[in-house]
Amino acid sequence: MSSMAPKPIGPYSQGVVSGNYIFLSGQVGRKHDATELEKGVAAQTRQTILNIKAVLAKKNLNLDNVVKTSVFLADMNDFAEMNGVYSEFFDENTAPARTTIQAAALPLAADVEIEAMASLD
């Protein structure tokens, strides 16, 4: 478990290795040492991806290892704002596969949650 990403708020792991992949649980935009979410979609998206990076780093991986993400938005109208920040971390030509959906509600009333799957290779 990475101490640089928020501790799970329930009975789940930050990530589980199976075969040649690590499956990361959904992350929200909260710093590891904070109780409150970052303010706004852009800040939450940025912190969410930083949390993913922290969990990957525990396995000596980085965002280049990510092969699939699932993005959950509280409001699909926030897609462009989330996508703008997301593109700061993932190059359009090498970005992982991605699904983006609107969810009725997210943990801690977050605006965005992202889960990822990364290759250990």
Q: Provide the CATH number for the domain around residue 80.
A: 3.30.1330.40
pLDDT attached to residue 17 = 95
In a domain, residue 7? The reply is no
Radius of gyration of the chain (CA): 13
Residue 4: predicted pLDDT: 85
Flag whether 20 is in a domain.
yes
Q: State residue 2's pLDDT score.
A: 84
- pLDDT at residue 6 in the model: 84
In a domain, 64, yes or no: yes
**Nearest Cα residue to 100 out of 81, 90, 114, 88:** 114
Residue 88 lies in a domain: yes
Residue 84 within any structural domain of the chain = yes
Does residue 68 fall inside a structural domain? yes
pLDDT for the residue numbered 86: 98
Q: Is residue 3 part of a domain?
A: no
Residue 80 has a pLDDT of: 98
43 lies in some domain: yes
pLDDT score for 87: 97
The pLDDT of residue 10 is: 79
> What's the confidence (pLDDT) of residue 3?
85
Write down the pLDDT at residue 121.
87
Number of domains the chain contains: 1
Which residues in the chain land under pLDDT 50?
none
Domain span at 21: 15-119
Rounded CA-CA distance 39/21 in Å is 32
Amino acid making up residue 7:
K
